[in-house]
Amino acid sequence: KKVLLQVKNLQKFFYMGKKKTLKAVDGISFDVYKGETFGLVGESGCGKSTTGRTIIGLYSKTSGNVVFDGKDVHALNEKEQFSFHKNMQMIFQDPYASLNPRSTVKEIISEPMEVHGIYRTSKERTARVYQLLEDVGLNREHANRYPHEFSGGQRQRIGIARALALDPDFIIADEPISALDVSVQAQVVNLMKRLQKEKGLTYLFIAHDLSMVKHISDRIGVMYLGRMMELTESKSLYKKPLHPYTQALLSAIPIPDPDVEDKRERQIVKGEIPSPINPPSGCVFRTRCPHAMEACSKSVPQWQEVESKHYVACHLYNESIVGADKAKELVA
């Protein structure tokens, strides 16, 4: 598997004055393989959007590295930046806010082509716009209309068409379905899956819960207060979540069918998310963790590969803290 994106020890801090520092992203690492969907999940304020924006270069980094296709994205020369922006595109949670209300759909989708000087003649661009509209399940009749004439789901399709205009390799989707009705969410996810197959796309798919990412992600990373808590293949995460935070997130997923009784013990994550300006010492999840121990306030849990390709940052799996038998028992 070819690694297309490497995020290494990435930190992104915002300095708020008076010695206040918001550690939005505090040392996270993950790889994204070519052709896969990597889901990045966590409650609001966990740093997942900041991670996406730092990867694509909308934010500078504080430290660490983002390497895309072999190149450090924060150290590109002008020419390399131009081709990087062509190859990595973003879709947003609220397509309405990201689409210019005074532009027609055709103008919106054409704009990146004009900026990048591809599909140069207006005839070529028009043909390309029609093709893209069809690719996302709209049609050429939609080209001369304005964003407000469309439903939320249709607007997200327009946002996707615009992101595809330059034929990118990689798309960062920042909560692309969170603002949509549940019935429309599945349609957009299915569209994204089809486009991924047809065009060989790689996705970073950002979401605030574990419900829909299940249907699109090959691997998932769970973030909390700027740190990565757990990372593994989608199947393993849903079958055997190891981190107490992931376990809580999973048990909070609503069961969609009202006729099916939910027999699982409800374990909604209790308590408030602490401020990222003043995060708890040691494990940042300890103020909400049902398993917190003395060690949890004293030291930051290390990132361990507990099982093959299953990484977790939690003292419960650290043999030198809980003893070898206990650590093994939890994984078994």
DSSP string, 164-202: HTT--SEEEEESTTTTS-HHHHHHHHHHHHHHHHHHT-E
Interface characters, 122-161, with ligand SF4 (x: CB under 6 A): ----------------------------------------
49 near Mg ion, judged by CB under 5 A: yes
Q: How many residues bind Mg ion (CB under 5 A)?
A: 1
Q: Which amino acid is at 116?
A: H
CA proximity to 213, closest of 329, 92, 41, 50: 41
Q: Which is nearer to Mg ion, 49 or 202 (CB)?
A: 49
Which tokens sit at 289? 């963790």
Using the contact rule CB under 6 A, the part of the chain among 66-74, 104-112, 118-126, 312-320 near ligand SF4 is 312-320
Inter-residue contact 320 to 296 (CB < 8 Å):
no
Alpha carbon separation from 66 to 55, 75, 80, 219, 263 (Å, rounded): 6, 10, 14, 19, 43
* 63: number of Cβ within 10 Å: 11
Smallest distance from the beta carbon of 49 to Mg ion, in angstroms?
3
Residues 249-308 that bind ligand SF4 (CB under 6 A): 283, 285-286, 289, 291-293, 296, 301
Smallest distance from the beta carbon of 50 to Mg ion, in angstroms?
8
Q: Which does 22 bind (CB under 5 to 8 A by kind): Mg ion, ligand SF4, none?
A: none
Smallest distance from the beta carbon of 300 to ligand SF4, in angstroms?
9
> CA 162 to CA 108: how far, in whole Å?
7
Inter-residue contact 292 to 286 (CB < 8 Å):
yes
Q: Which does 49 bind (CB under 5 to 8 A by kind): Mg ion, ligand SF4, none?
A: Mg ion
322 near ligand SF4, judged by CB under 6 A: no
Instruction: Report the residue closest to Mg ion, judged by CB.
Output: 49
Residues that bind ligand SF4 (CB under 6 A): 244, 283, 285-286, 289, 291-293, 296, 301, 314-316
Residues that bind Mg ion (CB under 5 A): 49
